[in-house]
Amino acid sequence: MNSLRDVRPEDKQMLLEWRNLPEVAKYMYTDHVITQEEHDRWFETAMKDPSRRYWIIVCDGKDVGLTNICDLDWHNKRCNWGFYIADPNVRGKGIGIFVEYTIIQYVFGELKLSKLCGDLLSFNEAIISMHEKFGFKREGVLRQHVIKNGVSYDVVCIGLLRDEWEALKPGIENRLRQKGIL
């Protein structure tokens, strides 16, 4: 059983450990080990910032990753989002698909926003492809936008509009039911 729960103060150290895992950090914009002081500042800001919301991804009662929305813009009715799975034992088991569906439903259903955006390092093709299966479109490329370990990488900008989601939703929900995710 998969679920999302709000991030709590006691999750702070676990999140620092996750953020510094090589398999998580590989897809983040930063390329250095995040210090305790840096993480403490990030965590404090993240928990107080009304334009951000964070959830722990739970699989069968175990905390396995993090998802969030950020840059929540009520005027323009849009936000950005992202996620990572920290536990390698649950990757490939539909957790990402569950998270994607849940966040899309939250953004368009509960928040009533019009657009959901994301930015991904261009080499993260598997996740870009997953987003496209949910209707996200590639809206642009920020060329040589992030430097990691001395190498410049492009960033792919994606977006999904509420009316696009509403048109695709029945078919996607049917596929997810067939896979046992819904």
Cα–Cα distance measured from residue 24 to residue 85, given in angstroms and rounded to the nearest whole number: 7
User: Which residues are within 8 A (CB) of 153 and not within 5 positions of it... i.e. 6 or more apart?
Assistant: 121, 122, 123, 144, 145, 146, 147
- The answer to whether the beta carbons of residues 104 and 69 sit under 8 Å apart is no
Q: Helix or strand or coil: residue 48?
A: helix
Name residues of the chain where pLDDT drops below 70: none
Q: How far apart are CA 59 and CA 29, in angstroms?
A: 26
- For residue 11, the model assigns a pLDDT of 98
Round to whole Å and give the CA distance between 58 and 90: 10
The CATH number assigned to the domain holding 139 equals 3.40.630.30
pTM for the structure as a whole: 0.95
What range does the domain containing 19 cover? Answer: 2-178
pLDDT at 154 (0 to 100): 98
Residue type, position 4, single letter: L
Q: What residue type is assigned to position 78 of the chain?
A: R
Which pLDDT score is estimated for 165?
A: 98
Query: 3-class SS at 74?
Result: coil
Q: Among 128, 119, 111, which residue's Cα sits nearest to residue 162?
A: 111
pLDDT score, position 50: 96
Mean pLDDT, the chain, integer: 96
Q: Is 108 helix (H, G, I), strand (E, B) or coil?
A: helix
C-alpha 50: how far from chain center? 17
Tally of structural domains, the chain: 1
pLDDT at 76 (0 to 100) = 98
